[in-house]
Amino acid sequence: MLFHGSYTALLTPFKDNKVDFDAYRKLIDFQIENGTNGLVPVGTTGESPTLSHDEHKKLVEVCIEQSNGRVPVIAGAGSNSTNEAVDFVKHACSAGADGLLVVTPYYNKPTQSGLMAHYNELIKNSSKPIIIYDIPGRSVIKMNDSTMAKLAENDLIVGVKDATADLARPTRLQNIIGEDFIQLSGEDGTALAYLAAGGHGCISVTSNIAPKLLSRMHNAWKQGDVLTAQEINKKLMPLHDALFYETSPGPLKYAASLLGLCSPEARLPIVEIEEVSKKNVKDALGKAGLL
């Protein structure tokens, strides 16, 4: 299968409100050296809403360059403006991304017909496979299964990153679209249950700081070692929760700073997390054996 296992929704390191490309390159190497199956730059975790277009494109280019074919790169290429999304799609294709992650248009609240028109416009302008990113908690609207099935009739629509927490959905989509349609969880806390329901992997926030453990969990599941997968999941659950104690990626940036991966700096309106959140993150890192 083209994309499967543990993928990391890469954070974007900042220093003095500028992208810290040195830390970014080190993070990419850290991910690959610890078994991450693939990388997803400039998604929600990468603070894409507050990146300039030039920064967005440069982060995609650097990720592709630094990973150097060692793992697949699925570039974030979404926007609530179809024209902007087309621009990001064209750029990511020309830069050499292996796939594109395209979120449903947030804020505009398009109808299902509007979603169809949006993705069809991107298909016309893409030479790379597209993963639909369905995250109603951020974008307000949810893509219906029937809409997704209709889009999947095109060969370039190859899968979904599903952040709906609907654990019946992987099985439903298998029945509607087929088992070759790639289903990646977008929620760490339910990723193992998602695999059990027919999913193929996860685009993870937690894997920014626990790539080895999550890679081991996915490998264990694939090998039929359910007990090992469950044990790792149990160990990481406090961390999954702590990283969303406040709006992501605030807690993640703090956790990454404790591990020496980057500064805790995020861009406004994401602010430094509260002391109680810091304690939760520290405790969870300790329970996971990472600190």
**Active-site positions?**
133, 161
Q: Helix (H, G, I), strand (E, B), or coil: what is residue 145?
A: helix
Residues 49-61, buried b or exposed e (16+ Cβ, 10 A)? eebeeebbbbbbb
Q: Is 111 left (phi over 0), alpha (psi -120 to 50) or beta?
A: beta
CA 219 from chain center: how many Å? 18
3-state secondary structure 149-194: HHHCCCCCEEEEEECCCCCCHHHHHHHHCCCCCEEEECCHHHHHHH
CB 129 within 8 A of CB 158: yes
